[in-house]
Amino acid sequence: MAQTDTLILASGSPRRVELLAQAGIEPTRLMPMDIDETPKRAEHPRSLARRLSTGKAQAALAAIKGDPAFAGSYILAADTVVSVGRRILPKTEMIDEASSALHLLSGRSHRVFTGVCLITPDRTVRQKVIDTKVRFKRLSTTDIERYLASGQWRGKAGGYAIQGIAGSFVVKLAGSYTNVVGLPLYETLALLSGEGFDVHAGWADA
């Protein structure tokens, strides 16, 4: 049975597309939203994840306003924030940012918050923030240098991608693994299902 509900994913993240595909869901349209992701002064990482995911969903809603093709669509957005205490680590674009993040994460625990926002066809807004605790091993100089050379840190919150080489850095993880990848599947499907989206429609073709 093919998926019949229209789903807009307000993200261009290949990881989120892959995670939804893993669950048998294919977004009808990808709409990456370019919003200011700068944390506010003293903003808690959880609050930032919630604010950015909601902002992206609402920006996508504004972008389709008046388009009858998407009048009955669901809009899904997510944003992932990595923090050590209240310190928010950036989505690393420069190698020095990634190096600094890896040195900070080495041998200690950090938290990954993903805000998930769903706007329903009747334009109700549903939100969740999922929290996972991750502990890294103590990284050697070689670990960090070779990881930086791999390029897998580029554009990643906290300077690493758990689904790649950095998965070997993880000593302990408490909570949702898919949350750390970028989209907590259990909670996301629960949100969709709770609002009438048929999450099982594509399972026969998955």
Give yes or no for a contact between 24 and 200, defined as CB atoms under 8 angstroms apart.
yes
The DSSP bridge partners found for residue 129 are 115
First to last CA, the chain: 10
CA neighbours closer than 13 Å in the CB half-sphere of residue 48: 22
Share of the chain residues as helix, strand and coil, in percent rounded to the nearest 5: 35, 25, 40
Spatial separation of the C-alpha atoms in residues 165 and 95, rounded to whole Å = 17
Q: What are the tokens at 21?
A: 């595909």
Spatial separation of the C-alpha atoms in residues 166 and 154, rounded to whole Å = 13
Catalytic option among 36, 79, 143, 198 = 79
Give yes or no for a contact between 205 and 24, defined as CB atoms under 8 angstroms apart.
yes
Give yes or no for a contact between 174 and 112, defined as CB atoms under 8 angstroms apart.
no
Q: Clarify whether 79 is annotated catalytic.
A: yes
For 77-94, give one letter per residue: b (16+ CB within 10 A) or e.
bbbbbbbbeeebbbbbee
**Catalytic machinery residues:** 79
